[in-house]
Amino acid sequence: MGVALKGANVRGKGVMLGLPLCAFVLALVLGGSAGATVNRAAAGGTLVFAGAADPTYLDPALVSDGESFRVTEQIFEGLVQIRPGTTSIRPALATRWTTGRDGKSYTFFLRKRVKFQDGTKFNAKAACWNFNRWYNFTGPFQDASATYYYQAIFGGFHHNESNSLSPALFRSCTAAGQYKIVVRLTRRNGPFLPAMSLSAFAMQSPTAIQKYGGNQGELRSGTFYPTGSYAFSHPTGTGPFRLQSWTVGQRIVLVRNTSYWGKKAKLDRVIIQPISNNEARLQALKSGAINGYDLVAPQDIGSIRGDQKLKTLDRPPFNVAYVTINQAHAPFDKLAVRQAVAYGLDRASVVRSFYFGRAVVAKEFLPPQIFGWTNKVPKYPYNPTKAKQLLQSAGLTLPVKVDFWYPTGVSRPYMPNPALNFQAFSDSLEKSGFKVVPHTAPWRPDYVKDVNQGTAGDLNLIGWTGDYGDPDNFVGVFFGNYSAQFGFHNNAIFNILKRGQEEVNFKKRIALYKKANVMIMKYLPAVPYAHSKPALAFQRSVKGYVPNPTGTDFFFPVYFGGQ
C-alpha cells in the first residue's frame, strides 16, 4: 500500500492534538465536580433513585413487575393500601369498609373530595368503572402477560376466551350513592381485601383511559403490548406524584401532585433511573449521581456501611428459603425421617455464615410480618444425635442415603449463594446419620422445572418471594393442594388452608393460619430455614424512606435532612 502521492496535503494536526486534551483535563479540574450532585435542601428537592430496570409501562392493571409498580405506586392509589413497613392494610381511597353477612360482598365507603390528576372526580362511578374494566377485559387483555395479578386474584373474566382461565371471582360492582360502592363476589375469598392493596388494583381515571387509548392493546409474538399512549405518557391516578416525563431506558420524572387530597409530598421531584448493573448502582451512589437505590448486593453492604455519607435500610423479610422433602420417595414418607432431616440441618449456622447478617432463621414458612405467623410451632434446633435416633427408630440402617439437589448459576434474595448453603447443610446432614449424594442443575432451565415436577431428588434447595401480604400467598401456594414437588396427600392440611382462603372474618383467618402453621411444621412437608432482609442504600441526607416488605415503597414521606 505504500505509495507516493503527489500534492499530498494532509494537515499535520496529529502531533498537536495533545494540547486540546490537556486543556480539557484542566477545564474539568477547574470546572469542579461532576454534573449530578447530592441535593441537600431540607424541603423540596429532587430525589434520584435507581432501580434495576425500566418499567414495562405504567398502567398498573396491565403490569406485574416490581420496577413498574415502583412508579405506579407513586401515581396511583387503591381503595386500601399497605401500612408502610408492614403487610397489613389501611384505608386509602376507601375510608372504611364492611363485609356482607354471606362473606361474598364488600361495601367500600369512598373518600370524598378526591380528584384524579386530570381534574376529574373520583367517586363511586369511577371506582366501579375500574372494577368493570378489569372484569370485562377481552382478547389480548385476557393474556397472562397483560393481567397476571387480576388472574391470580380474580381468576377469570366476564367472558373467558380460554379454557385455561378459571371462573371469575368478581360478580358485580354497584354504586350505592356517590361515595359508596358494593362489590359482590361469586364465592367467599379471604385474600380479596389484602390483595386490593396491590398496585394492580389501583383506581385510574376513566376519562384519561378513554381519552388516551388505555383499553387498546394487542398480542405481538405472544406478548401483550398496549397500543394507546395512556400507559406510556398519560397514566392518571390520584396519588401524591404525577408523571412528568419518561425517557425510555434513561429516566422517569415524577413531580409533586399539588392538588393531592392528603398530606402533600415533601419532594418536588423524584427521578427514577434504571441501572441494571449492581456495581454501577453502587458507584453511582458513591459518586453522588444518585441518592439511593434498591436491590443492594449483599457483598456491597460492608462497603456502604463503611462510608460515612451512606446508609443502608432493611426491607422487612417477605420471602422464605426452604429445603423441599419429597415424600413420594421412601423413606421420606415417614415422619421420623423428615424430623431427622429437620434436626440434621444446621439452619442457624447457615443463616449466620452466608447471609451477611441479612436474614433471620425461619421457624415456619410465613415470614414474621404476615398475619397467621405464630411462635408456637414445633422447633427443630440442630441436633445430630436426635436425628440419628429418629432414623434408627424408623428402622433404618445408618447412614441413610439422600439425594440432595441445589441450583447453580443463580443468586436469589432468599439464597445468595446456593452452593455454600448446600455445602453446610450437606456437612450437618452427614453428621446426623445421612449419606448425601449431591446433584446440581443450572437454575435455568432445568432446576426449577425439576423441583416443580418432583424430579429434583429427595431434598432440594428452593424458596419463594411473596406477591402480597396474605398467608395464602405462601402456605396456600405450597401446601393448598397436592403437588409433585412435595409428593404428599394430607387432607387435614389441604382443608384448613382452603378454609383459610375462604374465611373472610379477619380474626378467624388469623386463628386458622396459626393452626395451619403448627400443623404444617408438625407434618414437615419441607424445612424452612431463612427469611432474608433485602437492603436499600441511601445518602445519609435522605430521610423518611420506609421500605415495605412487598418491594414497592412510597416516596411521598421522603425528604432531605442534612447529614
Partner 1 sequence: MLRYFVRRLLLLIPILIGVSILIFFWVRALPGSPAESLLGERATPQLVEHYRHLYGFDRPIYVQYWKYVQTLLHGDLGVSVADHRHVATEIRDRFPATVELAMAAMLFAMVVGVPLGFFAAKRYGGAFDQGSLVISLIGISVPIFVLAVLLKWVFSIHWHLLPSVGRIDIRSTAEHPTNFYILDAIITRDWSTLWDVIKHLVLPAIALGSIPLAVVMRITRASVLDVQNEDYVRTARAKGLKPSVVDRRHVMRNALLPVTTIIGLQAGLLLSGAVLTETVFAWPGMGSWLRDAIFNRDYPVLQGGILFLALVFVIVNLIVDLSYALINPRIRYS
Footprint (CB under 8 A) of partner 1, residues 110-149:
143-145
Pattern 461-500, binding to partner 1, x per CB under 8 A? -xxxx-----------------------------------
Pair type for strands 319-325 and 459-465: antiparallel
Q: Which of residues 266-285 bind partner 1 (CB under 8 A)?
A: 271, 273-277, 279-280, 283-284
C-alpha cell, 81: 393500601
Please say which residue, 33 or 308, places its beta carbon nearer to partner 1: 33
**Closest CA relative to residue 402, chosen from 489, 338, 485:** 338
The answer to whether residue 1 forms part of the interface with partner 1 (CB under 8 A) is yes
Residue 444 within binding range of partner 1, rule CB under 8 A: yes
The DSSP bridge pattern shows strands 251-256 and 269-274 to be antiparallel
* Dihedral over Cα of 25, 31, 35, 36: its sign: positive
DSSP labels, 318-333: -EEEEEEE-TTSTTTT
**Alpha-carbon distance 497 to 476, whole Å?**
6
Which of 453, 481, 495, 505 binds partner 1 (CB under 8 A)? It is 453
The answer to the question of residue 401 lying near partner 1 (CB under 8 A) is no
Q: Residue 220 corresponds to which amino acid?
A: R
Q: Is 445 in the site for partner 1 (CB under 8 A)?
A: yes
Q: For residues 59 and 232, give the distance between their C-alpha atoms in angstroms, rounded to a whole number.
A: 8
What is the Cα–Cα distance from 442 to 428, expressed in whole angstroms?
A: 24
Considering only 133, 187, 286, 329, the residue that binds partner 1 (CB under 8 A) is 286
Binding pattern to partner 1, positions 47-86, x when CB under 8 A? -x----xx-xx-----------------------------
Nearer to partner 1, 232 or 506 (CB): 232
Q: Which of 123, 95, 110 has its CA nearest to residue 207?
A: 123
**What is the C-alpha separation between 501 and 495, in angstroms, rounded?**
10
Q: Are 502 and 187 in contact (CB under 8 A)?
A: yes
**151 contributes a contact to partner 1 by CB under 8 A:** no
Binding of partner 1 by 419 (CB under 8 A): no
Q: Residue 380 or 529: which CB sits closer to partner 1?
A: 529
Question: Footprint of partner 1 on residues 221-240 (CB under 8 A)?
Answer: 221-226
The 8-class DSSP code of residue 12 comes to -
**Which regions of 40-104 does DSSP assign to beta strands (E)?**
46-51, 80-82, 89-91, 94-99
Q: How far apart are the C-alpha atoms of 92 and 110, rounded to whole Å?
A: 9
Q: Least Å distance between CB 33 and partner 1?
A: 4
Number of residues binding to partner 1, judged by CB under 8 A: 71
Which of 46, 120, 207, 312 is close enough to bind partner 1 by CB under 8 A? 46
Peptide bond into 381 cis (omega under 30): no
9 sits near partner 1 (criterion: CB under 8 A) = yes
- Is residue 550 close enough to count as binding partner 1 by CB under 8 A? no
> Whole-number minimum distance, CB 184 to partner 1, in Å?
29
Q: What sign does the dihedral 293-298-300-301 (CA atoms) show?
A: positive
88 counts as binding partner 1 under rule CB under 8 A: no
Tell me which of 85, 91, 213, 288 binds partner 1, using CB under 8 A.
288
**Which one of 5-13, 91-99, 500-508, 520-528 is the stretch in contact with partner 1 (CB under 8 A)?**
5-13
C-alpha cell recorded at residue 210: 378513554
Cα(291)–Cα(273) distance, integer angstroms: 11
- Select the residue interacting with partner 1 from 138, 166, 250, 258 (CB under 8 A): 250
22 touches partner 1 (CB under 8 A): no
Give the residue with the Cβ less far from partner 1, 89 or 359.
359
Complex with partner 1: residue 98 or 247, whichever CB lies closer: 247
